[in-house]
Structure 1
């Protein structure tokens, strides 16, 4: 550590009412932030979205009844593959829609608004002539000053990325201390922190990865609240103004805001970003109603006393954020999620970065399922919390389901095994099928503004990542910690997508065989069309991999 702590500010007599600053001075965040809050809440509370979700729920139930009808059952092997895969997708879709339908709850109650009005002592601001520097305005809860530490966690990211985040963190409105927690042990980062007015902490060990880094910082920084920011998430000035008032309630452990991305400029980054958008705009708000919104590792404000109550941030998993949230909820603490962008960061831009991120997240989710089953009666959780954490721990099974469905068309092309007896009319079959998948696409149109084919592509090709994650969680296999934005040697995507490459070759051969086999049919065969579609999707993914490989080779040559 390169600096000493400031003494805690002495308590002042409580201010008399929410006094207003003089003309020309504004408390940060009020008009514009209020508009952003209204926009964020409107998206999650839209009656049109509720109607689409209800129709999609009916469609999902009807499709499930159609699949399970014994009269429609085909050959046992492909039928079993379809039933297992579709059961996973249907169950998780229904649970997700139930959560979204519960998203009309606004956590900003009267206590929040009252605390927000009294967050700053306006007479003190004017008396100390600090009106031109909102970073010096003391924060108050219960009319007493509250101290805040802002942690920027780093581990090998480039200096420009860190500088953007630290500079913005220092400029956040409300008196606070900014700390750079450097697990990369970089003298350049140390000097950067000093230049930008932030404090610097470097630990000698690296145990516990990011959670261990934060726990070490908590042994030095002693604020009542602390913020965690990844090195690539640039906070907005109103970060503390919007979140701190929630802590007026003594049982609130943390306040989480969404991960919003500013680098949606490649197929991978767009697909990864759009995948997360629905979760942050619609699913997390629904979890508020069940006190089950969980921390996502960055853009989050914690109450120190709550983290101390569970013995610190969880260090036993790569998904320390979800595990920490689970332990806090089991101890009776509350969480709050607000669907308002308070920091903008980077989503993975390459296949390698995406694979590492998804592997880390999925392994953590499966670890909860296999090691700490939320449905166990030993868990001190409400029924709603059990279900929500069960959804979290099984979510990535939906990423394995496409693998099962990929195998169905080849079984019919090579062996003549059909999953369903489609003796019903094509129109009837299409009605049930589109009643589920068609309405899922309608939800995507509504939530994302249009159908994002990048999401479909990544969802269809990511199954090797999730299979490996499940195996890691099942066997307890450890993997090296990988930071999304870390600087290092360029890696060819073909080093991590061998299964997808082999699968593409197999599907391509199968498509050729199928087209030749059914060349005399007047109408296209369903299994062939299905297989060709899968081949095209995987082919598009491999074209992206080829472009990335060329960029890596060119970068190495330079």
Structure 2
């Protein structure tokens, strides 16, 4: 029986948002505007290097111009990523394996699907909910559906839950390869044509197979990723209600007036910027035209044949590389071949066949292996509709653990096993992966953007020769058109949250980059599902430092300009004050997240959960 008192029980009624509607007219406008923005940006970068550098402070001017150039490259890549929406047409669910391009010898038998629910130390009753939702999966044709709990915690209580729910329980003697090893172990003991990957908290909707298996009618589709949706994200309090509690009727009136101008404002909504709709509904969805969306783990459906074929070819290539490492210096061709043949069996025994790459980011790594398959041009599809619900991080510590794992794993792949210059990826696919890798390197130039206004405010040294009319004529059109372009390109979503998160996220990405550069292995940490108690301000001291230094510098610079007789610096102050305040506003959400607490009702639910599972 399910333990009472889960904090998310009161959110069970929530339903996911529909995919963003596609508008050809809006897409055409976006494409026009972004081309104009990129042309203006190229002209701005040209002007920055050729006419604006402060010759008396090249130590400051050159790093900033370089940072702007690198950020502009990221802008070009991001524009390419968002260029167009071309959803893969959804086809009717297949009635038999023969309709999915299977070997003719497979006949007309029904499809067989394995649902893998991976778990390590999560609450058994939480996993029970995921099992029960998986059992409710519906399909319009006969189908063989098997649900498996993959328990890397080797818990008798978890095995008992699986037995009570009538599903299979799979475990192993060790945790080699972490989640990827857990999946490999399960693949060795199952035989379904397709595999649905779930985390312990992934609550599948009954429609997931009926809505996604039709894509596999194309025999080259290797996997389908569905959007992840966190149904427990705090909805916040509407601004009129928040002001009304403090100022009465006048506050409600003021709040409604503000919302008439800027749209709906909700205080306390999504304190950790967890809403993944921008990522799935825009970034990943717009990679469909070149079949370049990558696997994100939970909520994905995989063709077993594709995973195994790619794994076998990757295994063979690894063996060949290892043999070649020992034989390439043997001058005699016959001796080299004989020696290679002699040691190939031993090397093959020592190598591991890994259907899912043993890596902290096994999902994107496996995607790269499949997209780079030397024989088959495997495709991936981002299905735009939400087909499951999951739990979001409930505290800043959990959020940091999750984001560090994402950043570190992706950077580890990019810097140690870069796939962009080998394999059979198409050029658009390579550029899509480059966009992902480049975004995590943004921490390097974001530091410059955060430090630059602080340096000016305290020293009065400007990176530009002058903030003259030429600066405004080159910078303002670029910035304004870029903002309008991406507002149109992401219409229907709050894009500011993503931009602020990208800027304020710099310490985590820097730590991940430094870990990879030092040759240290990114460790796999299971994301906690329960709220971690405590104060987390120590996790955001870099962001607090940016805020304090910027505000202190602004006060000092204002004194220097208005009280110390340096009125000629006023144009410089205006630009850097606006820049610095933008940085401050971007840092504030993360600082607020460090002190965020659930409201009283949520806290009560969380306490009950803790008491019920102690």
Q: TM-score range by the shorter chain?
A: 0.7 to 0.9
- Superposed displacement of residue 149, structure 1: 0.5
Please give the per-residue CA displacement for 1:357-376, whole angstroms capped at 9, x wherever unaligned.
Answer: 11111112212221222331
Q: Is the 8 A contact 1:254 1:334 kept in 2?
A: yes
2:484 counterpart of 1:515: no
Larger Rg: 2
Q: TM-score, structure 2 length as denominator?
A: 0.73
Write out per-residue CA displacement over residues 79-101 of structure 1, whole angstroms, 9 at most, x where no aligned residue. Answer: 33333333333222322222332
CA shift digits 1:167-210 (9 cap, x unpaired): 10111114401111112333332222222222112222112111
The separation in 1 between residues aligned to 2:579 and 2:81, in whole angstroms, is 31
Matched with 2:232 is: 263
Residue number in structure 1 paired with 2:482 = 436
Does 1 or 2 have the higher relative contact order (CA < 8 Å, sep 6+)?
A: 2
Aligned position for 1:98:
80
Residues in 2 aligned to 1:50 and 1:347: alpha-carbon distance in whole angstroms:
35
Q: Which residue of 2 aligns with 1:151?
A: 116
Distance across 2 between alignment mates of 1:517 and 1:441: 37
* 2:356 paired residue among 311, 314, 335: 314
User: Closer, same or farther in 2 for the Cα pair 1:79/1:320, shift >3 Å?
Assistant: same
Worse-matched range after superposition: 159-168 or 514-523: 514-523
CA distance in 2, matches of 1:68, 1:341: 43
**Within 2, Cα distance between the matches of 1:162 and 1:85?**
46
The residue number in structure 2 matching 1:340 is 385
2:233 aligned counterpart, secondary structure: coil
**Residue 427 to residue 501, structure 1, CA distance change in 2 (3 Å):** closer
Q: What pairs with 1:26-41 in structure 2 (closer than 5 Å)?
A: 40=19
Of the structure 1 ranges 288-297 and 419-428, higher mean CA displacement relative to structure 2 is found in: 419-428
Q: Closer, same or farther in 2 for the Cα pair 1:300/1:536, shift >3 Å?
A: closer
Q: Distance in 2 between matches of 1:550 and 1:383?
A: 49
Q: What are the Cα deviations for residues 516-547 of structure 1, in whole angstroms up to 9, with x where unaligned?
A: 22235577622133224433443453243134
Q: Which runs of 5+ in 2 are unaligned?
A: 1-15, 99-105, 237-267, 312-352
Specify the SS of the correspondent of 1:177.
Answer: strand
Give 2:153's match in structure 1, choosing from 163, 175, 184.
184
Establish whether residue 325 from structure 1 lines up as the match of residue 355 from structure 2: no
Aligned to 2:434: 390
Q: TM-score, normalised by structure 1?
A: 0.79
When residues 468 and 238 of structure 1 are mapped into structure 2, their CA distance, relative to the original with a 3 A threshold, is same
**TM-aligned CA distance change 1:100 to 1:542, over 3 Å:** closer
Q: Which runs of 5+ in 1 are unaligned?
A: 1-35, 122-140
Q: Which residue of 2 aligns with 1:250?
A: 219
1:52 counterpart (10, 30, 43): 30
CA shift, 1:399, in A, is 4.3
How far apart are 1:262 and its partner, in Å? 1.0
Query: Which residue is 1:465 aligned to?
Result: 508
Secondary structure of the corresponding residue to residue 483 of structure 1: coil
Between the aligned partners of 2:269 and 2:184, the Cα distance in structure 1 is 33
Over 3 Å counting, the alpha-carbon distance change for 1:86 and 1:185 in structure 2 is farther
Query: For the residues of structure 1 that align with 2:107 and 2:27, how far apart are their CA atoms?
Result: 38
Structural RMSD (CA): 3.3
Using a 3 Å threshold, how does the CA distance of structure 1 residues 473 and 120 change in structure 2: closer, same or farther?
closer
Deviation at 1:241, TM superposition (A): 1.1
Q: Counterpart of 2:64? A: 82
Alignment counterpart, residue 526 of structure 1, candidates 569, 575, 579: 575
Displacement of 1:354 in angstroms is: 1.6
The answer (yes or no) to whether the contact 1:169–1:234 under 8 Å persists in 2 is: yes
1:217-236 Cα offsets, whole Å, 9 max, x none, are: 11112211111011222111
Structure-to-structure mapping, 1:275-290, within 5 angstroms = 276-290=276-290
Q: Which stretch has the larger CA shift, 74-83 or 465-474?
A: 74-83
1:169 corresponds in structure 2 to: 134
User: How many Å separate the matches in 1 of 2:511 and 2:576?
Assistant: 28
- 1:341 deviates by 0.9
Residue aligning to 2:51: 71
Cα deviation code 1:100-147 (max 9, x no counterpart): 323224243xxx33xx264699xxxxxxxxxxxxxxxxxxx9733221
**1:360 corresponds to which of 392, 396, 405:** 405
Partner of 1:26: none
How far does residue 405 in structure 1 lie from its aligned partner after superposition?
A: 0.3
